Amino acid sequence: MESRILIYAPTGQDAPLAAKVMATAAINSHVCRTLTELSAQMELGVGAVLTVEEALEMGGYKLLQEWVARQPDWSDLPIILLTHRGADSQTVRKAVAGLGNLSLMERPVRTLTLITALHSTLRARNKQYQVREAARRKDEFLASLGHELRNPLAPIRTSVSLLTHLYPDAAPVARIRDMVERQVRLLTRLVDDLLDVARITSGKITLQRQLVSLAAVMNHVSELCAQAASAKRIHVAWQLPSSEIMLDADYARMVQIFANILSNAVKFTPQGGNVVVRASAEEQVLVVSLRDNGIGLDAETIPRIFRMFEQSKTVSGQFSSGLGIGLSLSRQFAEMHGGTVEAHSEGAGRQRAQRRAAGRVVRGRRPQNPGAGGGR
C-alpha cells in the first residue's frame, strides 16, 4: 500500500491515461474519484500523489496541505502536479509555496519522462521508510535498554541500605554508602528519562491529571535540584504567587518539566551564580520563568537545545553530562498539558539566559511556601 501512486484528477482523461502508463511500467497506482476517497486512501498508505492543476482549485489543495502539515517527522510526501502549458497560475504558485515536496510537470507529458520521474520519486520515498524503520528500531532499543538497566538498581539500593544497618557507626562505610546512593539516584533518573523517550515516541504516555498545587510541585523541584545547586554554590531564588495556584495536571510530569529546566540552568551557570524562578498567573495561564547568569546562548543554538540527545558545552568548555534529553522531555510534557517551553538569551558569553514555560491554570488558593533550591 505504501508504494502506491494515488491519482486524483476528477475531470478529463488525465487519471485513466496516467493509470495506464503506470500499469505498463509495473508501478502500483490507484485512481481516486473524490476528495473523500483520496483522503481515505492516503490514510492507508501512499508512496506519492499525482494530481492536476484544476483539481487543486476543487478542494484538492486544502486537503493536501492539511495532510502535509500533520504528517510524521520522517515523512515528506512527494506530490507530482501536472500543470497547464504556459505561464504559472496563482494556483500553481500557491501549491509551490504550500505543498512542500512538490514536482511540476507541464502537460502534455512524455510517457518516459513521467515513468522516470515516478521511479525516482518512489526511490526517494523508500529512503523515508528506511528512516522510519531505523527510528522504530532505535525506540525499541531505548525501551529495552531502559528496562534492562533499571533491573539491577533495586538490589543495589537494597544493598546500600543494608550497609547502614550492618555498620551504623563506620565512617568509611558511610562515605561509600553516600557515594553509591548519589550514583544510583543519578542512574535512576537517566534510566527514567530513557524510558520516557521510548514511551513518548511510541505514544504510550498518558497524563494522570489531578488537581495539584503549584507550591507542592515547586517544593519537589527544589528538593531534586538542591544538591546540584549547593555543590556549585548557586543561589536559587523563588518568586511564587502570594495566593495558591491549583493546576489540572499530571504531578510527576509537572515536576519533570521544571526540574529538567532548573537542572539545565544550574549546569550551565558558573560557580557562585544565581538563578531566579518566577511564577505568575496571567488570565488563567500559568507562566513560569527561570533566569540565570550562565554562559548564554547564541541565536542559532536556541532551537537546537530542545532537540532529543542534543549536547552542549558547559562553563568549563567540556560537553555536559547526561543524555541531552531533559529539555526535549520538558517541552513535550508541557505541550501535552497544552503549554509551551521557550528559551531566550542575549547571546553567548553575555551571561544571561531565560527559559520560560507556560500552561493553563485551573483555579487558585492560598500557597504553600517552597524551600530554597540550593544557594548559600
State the CATH number of the domain containing residue 302: 3.30.565.10
Q: Note whether 226 and 300 are same-domain residues.
A: yes
- Both 197 and 217 in one domain: the answer is no
- For residues 128 and 179, membership in a common domain is answered with no
Name the domain count of the chain: 3
In terms of residue numbers, what domain contains 166?
A: 151-201
Backbone angles phi, psi at 145, to 5 degrees: -60, -45
Residue pair 286/245 in contact by the 8 Å Cβ criterion: yes
Instruction: Clarify whether residues 223 and 332 are in a common domain.
Output: yes
**Are 83 and 226 in the same domain?**
no
d(CA 217, CA 194): 22
Residue 359 lies in a domain: yes
375 within a domain of the structure (yes/no): no
pLDDT in tens, the chain (376 residues): 789 999 999 999 999 999 999 999 999 999 999 999 999 999 999 999 999 999 999 999 999 999 999 998 889 999 999 999 888 899 999 999 999 999 999 999 999 999 999 999 999 999 999 988 888 887 777 777 777 777 788 788 888 888 878 887 788 888 888 888 777 877 777 777 777 777 777 777 788 899 999 999 999 899 889 988 999 999 999 999 888 889 999 988 899 899 989 998 898 888 999 999 999 987 788 899 999 888 777 777 777 788 766 665 544 444 444 567 788 889 988 998 999 898 888 777 665 556 666 655 554 433 333 333 333 2
Query: What is the residue-wise DSSP string for 173-219?
Result: HHHHHHHHHHHHHHHHHHHHHHHHHHHHHTT-----EEEEEHHHHHH
* Shared domain check, 224 and 350: yes
43 within domain boundaries: yes
Do 160 and 103 lie in one domain? The reply is no
Tell me if 157 is assigned to some domain. Answer: yes
Write the CATH number for 10.
Answer: 3.40.50.2300
| pTM score | 0.57
Any domain includes 370:
no
| Distance, CA of 38 to CA of 5 (rounded, Å) | 11
| Element holding 286 (H helix, E strand) | strand 285-292
pLDDT at 144: 75
> How high is the pLDDT of residue 195?
77
Show which of 185, 201, 217 is a domain's final residue: 201
User: What's the pLDDT tens digit per position in 159-215?
Assistant: 888 887 888 778 888 888 888 877 787 777 777 777 777 777 777 778 889 999 999
Give yes or no: residues 328 and 194 share one domain. Answer: no
Instruction: At 239, list the grid cell.
Output: 518568586
Residue 259 included in any domain: yes
Do 235 and 357 belong together in one domain? yes
CA-based nearest residue to 51, from 93, 16, 10: 10
Nearest to 282 by CA among 356, 210, 361: 361
Residues 90, 158: one domain? no
Inside any domain, residue 138: no
Question: Which of these three, 140, 174, 201, is where a domain ends?
Answer: 201
Work out whether the CA dihedral 319, 320, 323, 325 comes out positive or negative. negative
Shared domain check, 168 and 121: no
Q: Is 43 helix (H, G, I), strand (E, B) or coil?
A: helix
Q: How far apart are CA 64 and CA 61, in angstroms?
A: 5
> Both 223 and 161 in a single domain?
no
pLDDT digits (tens, 9 = 90+) for 62-84: 999 999 999 988 899 999 999 99
64 φ/ψ angles, rounded to the nearest 5 degrees: -65, -40
Around 327, how many Cα atoms within 13 Å sit in the side-chain half-sphere? 23
Could you tell me if residue 327 is inside a domain?
yes
Residue 34, SS3 per DSSP: coil
Please give the order of strands across the beta sheet that includes 29-31.
Answer: 29-31, 5-8, 48-52, 79-83, 102-106
pLDDT at 198: 73
